[in-house]
Amino acid sequence: MSLIRLRGLALLALAIAAGLLVAPVTGAQPKPTGVKVGVLKLTSSAPIFVGVEKGFFKEFGVEPELVYFQAAAPIATALAAGQLDVGATGLTAALYNIVLGGEKLWIVADKGREWPGYPLVAIVVQKEAWDGGLRSIKDLKGKRIGVTQLGSTFHYHIGNILEKEGLHLSDVKIVPLQAMPATVEALKGKQVDAILVPQPFPGAAEAQGFGKILAWAGDLYPWQIATVFYSDKLAVDRARAVAFMKGYVKASRYYFDAALVQKDGHAAHGANYDEVVEITAKYTGARPEIIKLGFPFQDRNGRLLVPDIERQMSWWAANGFMKKTLPLTAVVDTSFVEEAVRGLDR
């Protein structure tokens, strides 16, 4: 059984045990200023890494503790189970289902958008399949496409990309592999014809010669893929919640100015570009050349593309991954970002 599955089950079991014993999670609580943040080791987590490395969170009196995962949905589960305060990762069907199931959590800030011109997730095709003629989205018909989990951002993304080309999810075979490294391995081992993975994996796949990037998914279909989200417990602790957000917005601006500025359609890197690359390389373990292939886009102040969240829920529900949609007010709270921005700009 894969590690992520084991972890997920262990967390579920723990949650059940905790629930049955009534007592809220005691003893395992972080320090009063501590904040547990669940992230993935991806380029897209760069703002978080920057914030931690440069002490932006500490500046506002918050001690972040990074907890690494292998896929996005388990972060939402861990948050709901009280093991994390903050999740900074992709929006999955699981997250919405958790709220539908009665556990509150709040989407509070932008942490990555699929955006044209800003590489985040790529559709990587197996080298041999590519050589054999798999060159376009339409060619994916009838093929096996590897993703981390069902209901993941990749699932959502490929579903929408296919629909844009007049195809449907049912025209391909989605293969869930539970963790990102496993997804990459499956491509290497030719168990699947194509995968969707975020930076730095696509770059690494091309560099190592077993994959070819068919397209950057953001060029084909833009959306609000990743966010920062809070547990209800943190959200209620207003002071700490806003303090964390201040640190995050500061980090977001630093990251944007260093890596995301474009002039006339070309990258115009800021003074701190190399530093940001270095920090990202340090935390993800990927090589700087791979990271330099591109940084994902997010709003400079971390503001959300709120209508897109409604669209996501409708799509999940239409395809049977959610029983029904939620009202936005039940899952989105932009007040933290707004308060943080006001506080920083004073």
Partner 1 sequence: MAVERLVVADRTAFLRRPDYRAVRVLALLGLVVLWELLTRTGWVSPLFLPAPSGVLAEGLDMARSGQLLVHLARSLERLAWGFGVGAVAGVGVGVAVGFFALADAVVQPVIAATFPIPKIALLPLLILWLGIGEASKVAVVALGVFFPMAINTYAGVRQADPLLIRAAVSFGAGSWSVIRKVVLPSALPMVFAGLKLAAGTALLLLVAAEQIAADAGIGFLILQSGNLMETTRLMVGIVVLSLLGVASYWAIGALERSVIRWRHT
Residues that bind partner 1 (CB under 8 A): 1, 5, 8-9, 12, 15-16, 19-20, 22, 73, 76-77, 80-81, 93-95, 97-98, 101-103, 144, 149-152, 173-178, 189, 191-192, 321-323
Judged by beta carbon, residue 15 or residue 39, the one nearer partner 1 is 15
Please enumerate in sequence order all residues whose Cβ is within 8 A of that of 290, keeping only pairs 6 or more positions apart, or say none: 199, 200, 203, 204, 207
In this complex, which beta carbon is closest to partner 1, that of residue 90 or of residue 203?
A: 90
CB of 258 to partner 1, least distance (A): 35
Which of 182, 43, 206, 204 lies closest to 125, judged by CA?
206
CA atoms within 13 A on the CB side of 71: 33
Contact between 159 and 315 (Cβ < 8 Å):
yes
Output 64 or 151, the one with its CB closest to partner 1.
151
Nearest to 275 by CA among 256, 287, 299, 258: 258
Least gap, CB of 152 to partner 1 (angstroms): 8
* Shortest distance in whole angstroms from residue 92 CB to partner 1: 8
Closer of 13 and 306 to partner 1 (Cβ): 13
Considering beta carbons, is residue 55 or 189 the nearer one to partner 1? 189
- Nearer Cβ to partner 1 (96/244): 96
> Shortest gap between Cβ of 28 and partner 1 (angstroms)?
17
Residue with Cβ nearer partner 1 (13 or 268) = 13
Residue 196 in 3-state DSSP?
A: strand
Rounded to whole angstroms, the Cα distance separating 118 from 99 reads 30
Cβ neighbour number for residue 221 with a 10 Å cutoff:
18
Contacts of 212 by beta carbon, 8 Å cutoff, 6+ apart: 124, 125, 127, 130, 206
Taking the complex as a whole, the smallest distance from the CB of residue 292 to partner 1 amounts, in Å, to: 33
User: C-alpha 333: how far from its chain's center?
Assistant: 18
CA atoms in the 13 A half-sphere facing the CB of 337? 25
Place of tokens 């950057």: 216
We find the least distance from the C-beta atom of residue 195 to partner 1, in angstroms, to be 13
Q: Give least dist CB 158 to partner 1, A.
A: 15
- Reported in sequence order, the residue ranges of the chain that DSSP labels E, i.e. its strands, are 34-40, 63-69, 86-90, 105-110, 121-126, 144-147, 173-176, 194-198, 211-216, 226-231, 262-263, 266-267
